Chain A
């Protein structure tokens, strides 16, 4: 009975609100508790941040999947350069080692925040595109 919701928007900080609102709506539909909804809203923002930090350009595609009391959100970037150009490599702002170092540190913080908010998260390559994903299960107590 999985639900799939797709959302795509230009990589702009002001539009991350769409990701948060969609996450909240999907989580509410899946009967997540309000605190879990709040966690998911924060988490999806962390998922988008690495792309924003790199000023990646292009469109961010988020997929929200609901399956048996869990929600999985995955983010992939569709850049103007076509498939193969990933978020971390196509980074016009990050041209020095120090910049890259700083970005890594920020990503590290995002990962630690995700540790605190969701059950699992990670990154990988899907069809030649870098994909960051997270998964949160609904707490079952009292349901």
Chain B
């Protein structure tokens, strides 16, 4: 856990006050020089001098379903942007300016991933995973699994599990007001939701829909939801970029959802006449429309 690590460990070399003041003076001069010359070597040096800040800030956003490396990359780009945009003449400390910029970039990253908006996609994915994990663990253990056991099984944090469990009650954006259910534990309510007949029906609808996906998308969905790999791990496994995997996953989920919504048992419409009932080998362009819908 990053918090624990931070509370206990001091990873960076320590500087005494005088040294730090000196270093700050020196940096200030370098920023002034860079503002005047735009010298690439100086830019490089300034970015490197603040990369520790990127680490610290990325760590603050860790444990929310995004790989730390991705966050670090976003934060590092934020430092780069900050160095380019920083105006030393405005009398603001660079660290203040950069922190604002990097946090903005990190928040945008999560927003673009659909995490901070209504019915966050990550939560939806986790909720689907939890459905499977709850079923499997209930059978295995002969009782409802604990939040901790679910966290271990899905590789998510306990907080994320709690949030996804709650979001699953109706895809509410805000999560922890569990009113009117005092007589039941959260896990009981959820086990009910997922092991009921609706779940069986959903799986019956989804299995044929899954088989209609292009082979590569089937593989990715299986790796994500059956084997529980992260997007980065899948990317390595199938030889695509993590971004590409993310897009394909989004497209696949959208297609599955469309097939699900078009199921005659739910809508009275015959299968295959829905707007997104995609045939095997269909282009992946459907993702654009669905991406928008999911945000």
Q: Residues of A at under 8 Å CB distance from B?
A: 13-14, 16-17, 20-21, 24-25, 27-29, 34-35, 37-38, 42, 45-46, 49, 52-53, 55, 97-99, 101-102, 105-106, 108-109, 112-113, 115-117
Minimum C-beta distance from B39 to chain A (A): 27
Q: If A25-B176, A115-B96, A115-B100 touch, does A53 touch B4 (CB 8 Å cutoff)?
A: no
B1 at the interface (CB under 8 A from A): yes
Residue from the list B16, B53, B100 in contact with A97, Cβ < 8 A: B16
Residue from the list A28, A55, A99, A101 in contact with B7, Cβ < 8 A: A55
Contact size range, B: 35 or more
Q: Residues of B at under 8 Å CB distance from A?
A: 1, 3-4, 6-8, 10, 12, 14-17, 20, 53, 56-57, 60-61, 95-96, 99-100, 103-104, 107, 110-111, 116-118, 158-159, 162, 173-177
Report whether over half of chain A's contact residues are helix, strand or loop; otherwise say mixed.
helix
Q: If A35-B107, A115-B96, A116-B100 touch, does A29 touch B4 (CB 8 Å cutoff)?
A: no
What are 18 A-B residue pairs whose CB atoms fall within 8 Å in the complex? A13-B3, A14-B1, A24-B176, A25-B175, A37-B174, A38-B116, A45-B3, A46-B60, A49-B7, A52-B3, A52-B6, A98-B14, A99-B10, A101-B17, A102-B14, A109-B99, A112-B100, A115-B99
Minimum C-beta distance from A81 to chain B (A): 20
Minimum C-beta distance from A8 to chain B (A): 18
Smallest CB-CB separation from A27: which chain B residue?
B174
In the bound assembly, the distance between CA atoms of A25 and B102 in angstroms comes to 26
Minimum C-beta distance from B186 to chain A (A): 12
Residue from the list A97, A106, A108, A117 in contact with B95, Cβ < 8 A: A108
Report whether over half of chain B's contact residues are helix, strand or loop; otherwise say mixed.
helix
Q: Is the CB of A34 within 8 A of B14?
A: no
In the bound assembly, the distance between CA atoms of A117 and B1 in angstroms comes to 22
Minimum C-beta distance from B1 to chain A (A): 6
Q: Is the CB of B99 within 8 A of A116?
A: yes
Q: Is the CB of A113 within 8 A of B175?
A: no
Residue from the list B7, B20, B162 in contact with A52, Cβ < 8 A: B7
Task: Note all chain A residues with C-beta closer than 8 A to B56.
Answer: 109
Task: Note all chain B residues with C-beta closer than 8 A to A45.
Answer: 3, 60
Task: Note all chain B residues with C-beta closer than 8 A to A112.
Answer: 95-96, 99-100
Minimum C-beta distance from A19 to chain B (A): 11
Smallest CB-CB separation from B99: which chain A residue?
A112
In the bound assembly, the distance between CA atoms of A83 and B159 in angstroms comes to 33
Minimum C-beta distance from B165 to chain A (A): 12
Q: Is the CB of A14 within 8 A of B4?
A: yes
In the bound assembly, the distance between CA atoms of A29 and B56 in angstroms comes to 31
Task: Note all chain A residues with C-beta closer than 8 A to B61.
Answer: 42
Task: Note all chain B residues with C-beta closer than 8 A to A13.
Answer: 1, 3-4, 7
In the bound assembly, the distance between CA atoms of A45 and B155 in angstroms comes to 22
Minimum C-beta distance from B121 to chain A (A): 13
Task: Note all chain A residues with C-beta closer than 8 A to B173.
Answer: 34
Q: If A35-B107, A101-B20, A102-B14 touch, does A28 touch B174 (CB 8 Å cutoff)?
A: yes
Q: Is the CB of A35 within 8 A of B4?
A: no
